[in-house]
Amino acid sequence: MKHKNIMKSAALVTLLSSAPAMADWQALPDVAPAPKNNPTTEAKVTLGKMLFMDPRFSSTGTVSCNSCHNVMEGGDDSRTFSMGVHGKTGGRNAPTVWNAAFHSVQFWDGRADLLEDQAKGPVTNPVEMGVSEIEQAMNKVRAIPGYKPYFEKAFGNDSMTVDNAARAVAAFERTLITPDSPYDRYVKGDKKAMTAQQVRGMDTFASTGCNSCHSGAAFNGPEMAFGQGFYAKFPTFDNAYVKKYDLATDKGREEATGKAADAHMFRVSTLRNITDTAPYFHNGAVNNLSEAVRVMAKSQLNKDLSDADVKDIVSFLGALTGVYPEITMPRLPATSGHSLVADK
C-alpha cells in the first residue's frame, strides 16, 4: 500500500516536523479552564466527587465513573478494554481522566464537546453503566435523601437534575490536574529539574516531529475553543505495526459522524502521566511505552527510531508525570431502610 499523506480538514492541523528550537514548550496551568455557564465551586466539586464514586445509579449497582477512570491511580483502569455491567467490555481503551479538562473535546472520537456532555454518555451506554434512560439513573440519585442538601448547596433549590449532576461531575474532573512535573519546573527555569537524558529526549521528541501533534501544555495539541476538536489521522502510514496491533480497524471519528472524511481521525491524546496509563492507543493493544513510541514514530511520521532515541524519548515522557493532588474517598449518603440495587 502506498504511503498516505495526512488529510486536511477543519479539525486537523497538518503535521509538520519541528526543530527543537522552534518547539513551543508550555507548562501546565495550575487551574483548569471552565465554561462560563459552569464555574468551578467547592460545593460542585464535593458533590461531583460523590457522584463520580457512586456505583448505585448504574443498572447493576456495580459500576461508577471511578470504576474505569480510577483517580486513586492513573485515572484509567489498566485494562485493554474497561469492564462495565454484567462483565461486558467495549472496543476502546479508557483514557485517563487526569488532565481531561485540557482536552478540546471528549472521547476518542470527540463525540462530546465538554466534560459536562461526556459525563452523561456512559450512564446510558449498554456496555458501561447500562441504564436505558438517563432519568432512571437520576431518579435513583433523587431517591437518596442525603444527596438533596449537596445539590442545594451547589445549585440552589429544586436542582436535582441530570444537567446539574453532570455539571458537578465535570467540576470535580476539572480539579484532576497534575502540574509541577519535572518538565514543568524545567520550562519555568529550573534547569536541574530534568536529567540530561530527559533533556536529550525532549530535543529528540521535537526533532522527530512528535510535537507536531502532541503540543501545548497538555501535549494534546494547541489550545482551542471548547468543542472545537483537535484531531489527527491514526494510523497515517501503513506498516507492519498497523497489522500487528490492529490499528486500522476502528474508524475513529467516522463512527460518530458517519462522514467518510473522518475515517481514522482521533482526538489527540495527552501525554501527561503517560508512564502511568498503559496499555496504549485507542484499542489498548500496546502494553509497553518503548514499543508505543516506536509505533507512533513509524505509523505517524514514517520514521524508524534507534534504540538510543527511544530510550531518550521514554525518559523525557517520564518527566511529564506531575504531582497528583491528594484524593480522599467521600462518604456517600445512604438510603434509609431500603436498597436501590437489591434484586427484585
The three-state (H, E, C) secondary structure of 165-232, written as one string = HHHHHHHHHCCCCCCCCHHHHHHCCCCCCCCHHHHHHHHHHHHHCHHHCCCCCCCCCCCCCCCCCCEE
What whole-number distance in Å separates Cα of residue 333 and Cα of residue 10?
46
Identify whether the C-beta of residue 118 lies closer than 8 Å to the C-beta of residue 106: yes
Give Cβ neighbours of residue 210 (< 8 Å, ≥ 6 apart).
296, 297, 301, 313
Neighbour tally for 213: CB within 10 Å: 27
- Crossing angle for the helix pair 162-173 and 148-155, to the nearest 10 degrees: 80
* Distance from the first to the final alpha carbon of the chain: 57
Establish how many alpha carbons lie within 13 A of residue 54's alpha carbon, considering only the half-sphere containing its beta carbon: 25
- Name the active-site residue from 42, 73, 116, 128: 128
Q: DSSP 3-state assignment of 95?
A: coil
Partner residues linked to 286 by β-bridges: 280
**Whole-Å CA distances, 156 to 27, 102, 160:** 36, 28, 9
What whole-number distance in Å separates Cα of residue 325 and Cα of residue 319?
17
Identify whether the C-beta of residue 164 lies closer than 8 Å to the C-beta of residue 151: yes
Active site residue 42: no
73 φ, ψ (degrees, to nearest 5): -135, -130
Cell of 94: 479508557
The set of catalytic residues is 128
